[in-house]
Amino acid sequence: MELTAINQQVVSSQEIESSSINEKNNFIEANTQQVTLSHLRQDCIIPVFAKDNESTIPHYEFVNTVRSTAQQLFPKGTVTMPNIRTSHIIKGRIPSAIGKPAKELLEHEKTIYYERMAFMIEIPHVHVYINNQKLNLTVGGVRSYSEQNLFSKKSIEKFKIFIGFKNMVCCNLCIATDGLKDDLRVSSIDELKNKSRELFLSYNQDNHIDALRKFQQFTINQEQFAHLVGKIKLYYHLDKQEKQDLFELKTTDSQINTIIKNYVDDEHFSSDPKGYINLWNLYNLFTESTKSNYIDNFLSRNCNTYEFVNHLGVALENQEHNYFLQKSKV
């Protein structure tokens, strides 16, 4: 399917070379720090496979490959510079600094790279409004060397890439199942580029938008919300047989606590004064909570959130029995 611009505005065709990223623009927050693409390229060493000293695909090449693919698919629009978050810094030193106390190391004697890295790139001229909130088309990816055996010979490398939307009100990512490749395995930059292109072109933008808009049609009350929260907490204590026919939920207990808090006092997505909340706002409470996950799993949990709220919406629409929902009293 060809990706198209929705509600297109007049924008410069010039790329944004300096992103307006700030501390309030974090698409993920847990244990991460923001870095620049130039920092990854100039200041970080490239991990190798230990047994043959073959290079891995560097983080900056991963980011550049996804960004160049987006630029090719959207040549007339603006593609922002990447918002990059990293974690689990791996420190080292040059050979001449062996035996030197860490506190005496000079900057040029230190080496670093990041075990985990996530990034997102916005395509602002492709956007849509849902509940008067602007959502920009967004692409990005995740890399974690912890999923790679660097002590062996060079092998297939693992990546995660996505395409979806970012809610500009809160920076929450909205990722559907067909917009996520959670276990991408490639052996070269060219293969990575081809796989990224395949995902971006196969993503059904219209279906995703329709599903997100439909969330506004369904509302639950405070009693149903409390029932939902209780059932989610109970879910993790059920045995395997009891879980077998239930939705496979990945939301953590700490996320649930965040959702409960934000149900009461979130600036944009809390319930109304009578305790009612529609599924669009509930969905954003869930996606907000996924930002506290580690880089390794936040994409899969974000996508799982979309599937879960969609699961609730189908049950409400068809008035079907659902483990997580209490029937509203007529």
What confidence tens digit (pLDDT) does each residue in 247-295 have? 999 999 999 999 999 999 999 999 999 999 999 999 999 999 999 888 9
In the listed set 206, 234, 268, which residue is the last one of a domain according to the structure? 206
**Spatial separation of the C-alpha atoms in residues 209 and 279, rounded to whole Å:** 14
Regarding whether 151 and 45 lie in a shared domain, the answer is yes
Tokens representing 200 are: 């971006």
Averaged pLDDT, 8-23: 37
Regarding whether 75 and 190 lie in a shared domain, the answer is yes
Regarding whether 228 and 199 lie in a shared domain, the answer is no
Kindly tell me if the per-residue pLDDT of 5 is higher than 60.
no
What is the separation of C-alpha 97 from the centre of its chain, rounded to a whole number of angstroms?
39
State which residues form the domain around 263.
218-318
Regarding whether 259 and 173 lie in a shared domain, the answer is no
Kindly tell me if the per-residue pLDDT of 117 is higher than 70.
yes
Q: Is residue 324 part of a domain?
A: no
Kindly tell me if the per-residue pLDDT of 8 is higher than 70.
no
Tokens representing 53 are: 């000293």
Q: Is residue 6 part of a domain?
A: no
**Spatial separation of the C-alpha atoms in residues 298 and 147, rounded to whole Å:** 15
Regarding whether 39 and 83 lie in a shared domain, the answer is yes
Q: DSSP string covering 31-48, please?
A: T-EEE-HHHHHHT----E
In the listed set 206, 238, 255, which residue is the last one of a domain according to the structure? 206
Which helix (H) or strand (E) segment is 181 a member of? strand 180-186
Kindly tell me if the per-residue pLDDT of 42 is higher than 50.
yes
Kindly tell me if the per-residue pLDDT of 9 is higher than 60.
no
Q: Is residue 330 part of a domain?
A: no
Q: Is residue 327 part of a domain?
A: no
Regarding whether 270 and 300 lie in a shared domain, the answer is yes
In the listed set 153, 182, 206, which residue is the last one of a domain according to the structure? 206
Averaged pLDDT, 173-179: 96
Q: What is the pTM of this model?
A: 0.88
Q: Is residue 146 part of a domain?
A: yes
Kindly tell me if the per-residue pLDDT of 69 is higher than 50.
yes
241: left (phi over 0), alpha (psi -120 to 50) or beta: alpha
**Spatial separation of the C-alpha atoms in residues 12 and 77, rounded to whole Å:** 7
Q: Is residue 13 part of a domain?
A: no
At 313, the pLDDT band (50, 70, 90 cuts) reads very high
Contact 150, 56 (CB under 8 A): yes
pLDDT for residue 14: 33
Regarding whether 182 and 49 lie in a shared domain, the answer is yes
Q: How many domains does the chain have?
A: 2
Top pLDDT among 105 and 29 is at 105
Contact 62, 141 (CB under 8 A): yes
Tokens representing 221 are: 């009350």
Residues 6+ apart with CB under 8 A from 37: 60, 63, 64, 81, 82, 84
Kindly tell me if the per-residue pLDDT of 17 is higher than 70.
no
pLDDT for residue 142: 97
pLDDT for residue 328: 58
Q: Count other C-beta atoms under 10 Å from residue 73's C-beta.
A: 19
Q: Count other C-beta atoms under 10 Å from residue 207's C-beta.
A: 12
Tokens representing 307 are: 């599937």
CA distances for 196 relative to 28, 63, 154, 170, 190, angstroms: 21, 11, 22, 26, 10
Contact 26, 167 (CB under 8 A): no
Tell me the β-bridge partners of 111: 92
Highest mean pLDDT out of 30-34, 171-175, 291-295: 171-175
Kindly tell me if the per-residue pLDDT of 166 is higher than 80.
yes
pLDDT for residue 151: 87
Top pLDDT among 175 and 328 is at 175
pLDDT for residue 25: 63
Regarding whether 87 and 182 lie in a shared domain, the answer is yes
Q: Is residue 156 part of a domain?
A: yes
Averaged pLDDT, 193-212: 97
Regarding whether 201 and 155 lie in a shared domain, the answer is yes
Residues 6+ apart with CB under 8 A from 158: 143, 144, 147, 148, 183, 184, 185
Q: Average per-residue pLDDT in the chain?
A: 89
Averaged pLDDT, 79-89: 94
Q: Is residue 7 part of a domain?
A: no
Tell me the β-bridge partners of 277: 220
Regarding whether 275 and 132 lie in a shared domain, the answer is no
Regarding whether 160 and 282 lie in a shared domain, the answer is no
pLDDT for residue 95: 87
Share of the chain above pLDDT 90, in %: 75
Could you say which DSSP state residue 159 is in? E
Phi, psi of 313 (to 5 degrees): -60, -40
Regarding whether 177 and 69 lie in a shared domain, the answer is yes
**Spatial separation of the C-alpha atoms in residues 327 and 109, rounded to whole Å:** 64
Question: Quick one: CA dihedral 25, 292, 233, 180, positive or negative?
Answer: positive
pLDDT for residue 108: 87
Kindly tell me if the per-residue pLDDT of 11 is higher than 50.
no
At 139, the pLDDT band (50, 70, 90 cuts) reads very high
